[in-house]
Structure 1
Amino acid sequence: HSADLGERGDGDVWTMTVDEYLAAPRLKRIAYRIFRNPFFLFVIAPPIHFMVMQRLPLSIDESARNGERSSVWWNNAAILALVLVIMSVIGWKAFLLIHLPVAFLAASVGTWLFYVQHQYEDTYWEYKPEWNYTEAALHGSSYYKLPRIMQWFTGNIGFHHIHHLSPRIPNYYLEQAYKENPELQNVVQLTIWDSLETAFLTFLWDEREKRLVRFRDLKRLRPDAVKA
Structure 2
Amino acid sequence: MSLLPLPPAFLSPVSPRRRDFQLEAFRQGDDRIASWQLINTLVPTALLWASVPALDAAGGGLRLLLLPVLLLLVLFSARSFALMHDCGHESLFKTRWINRPVGFLLGCLNAIPQHPWSRGHAFHHKHNGNWERYRGPSAVLTLSDYLALSPRQRWFYGLSRHPLMLFPGGCYYLLIRPRIVLVLGVSEWLASMASHLGQKGLIGLTELPALSRNFRSSHWYTSSECIDIFANNLVVLTSWWLMGSWLGHGLFWSCYLLVMTLSAALFLCIFFVQHNFADSYASSNEGWDYQRGALEGSSNLVMPAILNWFWADISFHSIHHLCERIPNYRLRACHEANAALLIGCPKLSLKDFPSSFRYVLWDSEAKKLLTLAEANMSAENTKFK
TM-score after normalising by structure 1: 0.86
Check the 8 A contact 1:219/1:226 in 2, yes or no: no
Deviation at residue 208 of structure 1 after TM alignment: 3.5
CA distance 1:35–1:224, shift in 2 (3 Å): same
> How many residues of Structure 1 are paired with residues of Structure 2 in the alignment?
225
CA distance 1:38–1:5, shift in 2 (3 Å): same
Check the 8 A contact 2:277/2:359 in 1, yes or no: no
Larger Rg: 2
Amino acid at match of 2:235: A
Q: Does 1:32 align with 2:157?
A: yes
| RMSD between aligned residues | 2.5
Greater displacement, 107-116 / 209-218: 209-218
Deviation at residue 144 of structure 1 after TM alignment: 0.8
Deviation at residue 127 of structure 1 after TM alignment: 2.8
Deviation at residue 34 of structure 1 after TM alignment: 1.6
Deviation at residue 198 of structure 1 after TM alignment: 2.2
Deviation at residue 176 of structure 1 after TM alignment: 0.6
TM-score after normalising by structure 2: 0.53
Aligned to 2:348: 190
Check the 8 A contact 1:5/1:11 in 2, yes or no: no
Q: Does 1:99 align with 2:223?
A: no
Deviation at residue 130 of structure 1 after TM alignment: 3.0
Check the 8 A contact 1:21/1:29 in 2, yes or no: yes
SS where residue 382 of structure 2 aligns? coil
Aligned equivalent of 2:174, options 31, 42, 50: 50
Q: CA–CA distance in 2 between the matches of 1:166 and 1:222? A: 40
Aligned equivalent of 1:3, options 126, 150, 153: 126
More helix by share: 2
Amino acid at match of 1:51: L
Greater displacement, 2-11 / 158-167: 2-11
Check the 8 A contact 2:283/2:368 in 1, yes or no: no
Q: CA–CA distance in 2 between the matches of 1:63 and 1:101? A: 29
SS where residue 369 of structure 2 aligns? strand
Percent identity, aligned pairs only, is 28
Q: Where in structure 2 are there 5+ consecutive unaligned residues? A: 1-120, 186-216
Aligned to 2:308: 151
Q: Where in structure 1 are there 5+ consecutive unaligned residues? A: none
Aligned equivalent of 2:287, options 100, 110, 130: 130
CA distance 1:11–1:81, shift in 2 (3 Å): farther
Amino acid at match of 1:190: L
Aligned to 2:237: 80
Amino acid at match of 1:195: F
SS where residue 67 of structure 1 aligns? helix
Check the 8 A contact 1:4/1:11 in 2, yes or no: no
Deviation at residue 68 of structure 1 after TM alignment: 0.9
